[in-house]
Amino acid sequence: MIARDAPPALQTLVSALLRTKLELAIAGLDSCGKTTLCATLPHASAAGPMMAPMQTAPTIGLVVQRARTRGIDLMLWDLGGHHRFRDDWKRHARGCGALIFVVDCANESRLVEARQALQRLLEDPIVGGLPLLVLANKVDLLTPADRAREEVSGWRALVEQLNLGGEVSGSSSRQWSVLGVSATRGTNLDKVVRWLVLQAHGAGPAPSVDTDDGPSGHSRLSWQSVSTAVSSAKRRWTKSGRYTSVLADASRSLIFSE
């Protein structure tokens, strides 16, 4: 974010110049919370406000919606999770810049089905190369002890159950991230947005989200990485003639904080 003490006009200018686009495929089984995520993600904040439970209908086939958050113009591809729609996931996801796979972590009876669906999706060479963020949704439904154990371990059990390190999901160099969230409560959605910022600014292969609760995923994300991404963007603007002395001054007001 931009420093809170920066002049409003300066904040508006920098936000406009930093604005970029990202098409995001959101896949997962039916009833895992994808549609709720699409509704709440654009309004995520570090405060993680409590939200009223949402009543959503199952997505029929595909729903595409636009949203704006943290300087990103998002196009969210909400892919229907019913088994009859899963054959279309690859086709829709191929044109996106990143992939989120949502899992209902409170429903262990469907984890095998979720693994099979994810692995089948990642078999596609194009989709398999997309930055991947796995969201363990509905953490608010876990017992405090179960949630703490998963967060401390970096969701290791879920990683193993989804076979994220297996041969089917790609080579050992595959970069992925796992994060526990609650789409209805807003828990950790601000960290999802951080991940999206990096992907939108082309900051390299899918680094993991640095949670406050312990290790998560395959690597770690810091605000230093975000700053590097912004610096890279500024260099591109310099070459194109868009980077002005005003933005140079504004860049000194850019700080990223928890």
> What is the spatial distance between Cα 169 and Cα 114, in angstroms, rounded to a whole number?
13
Q: Is 140 annotated as a binding residue?
A: yes
Is residue 91 very low, low, confident or very high in pLDDT (cuts 50, 70, 90)?
Answer: very high
Q: Is 251 annotated as a binding residue?
A: no
| Residue range 241-256, pLDDT digits in tens | 444 333 433 433 332 3
Q: Is 129 annotated as a binding residue?
A: no
Q: Is 210 annotated as a binding residue?
A: no
Structure tokens at 187: 């828990």
The winner for highest mean pLDDT among 60-69, 168-177, 236-245 is 60-69
Average pLDDT over residues 104-133: 95
| Residue range 138-156, pLDDT digits in tens | 999 999 999 999 999 999 9
Q: Is 188 annotated as a binding residue?
A: no
Is residue 69 very low, low, confident or very high in pLDDT (cuts 50, 70, 90)?
Answer: confident
Q: Is 28 annotated as a binding residue?
A: yes
**pLDDT over 90 (residue 228):** no
Q: Is 29 annotated as a binding residue?
A: yes
Q: Is 105 annotated as a binding residue?
A: no
Q: Nearest-CA neighbor of 229 among 256, 254, 250, 202?
A: 202
DSSP string over the chain: -B-TTS-HHHHHHHHHHH-EEEEEEEEE-TTSSHHHHHHHGGG--TT----PPP--PPP-SEEEEEEEETTEEEEEEEE--SGGGGGGHHHHHTT-SEEEEEEETT-GGGHHHHHHHHHHHHTSTTGGGS-EEEEEE-GGGS-HHHHHHHHHTTSHHHHHHTTTTSSTT--TT--EEEEE-BTTTTBTHHHHHHHHHHHHTT-SS-PPP--SSS--SSS---HHHHHHHHHHHHHHHHHHT---HHHHHHHTTB----
Is residue 224 very low, low, confident or very high in pLDDT (cuts 50, 70, 90)?
Answer: very low
Could you give the C-alpha distances from 227 to 223, 240, 251, in angstroms and in order?
A: 6, 20, 10
Q: Is 165 annotated as a binding residue?
A: no
Q: Is 69 annotated as a binding residue?
A: no
Q: Is 163 annotated as a binding residue?
A: no
Q: Is 139 annotated as a binding residue?
A: yes
Residue 110 has what pLDDT?
A: 96
Residue 201 has what pLDDT?
A: 80
- The CATH number assigned to the domain with range 21-221 reads 3.40.50.300
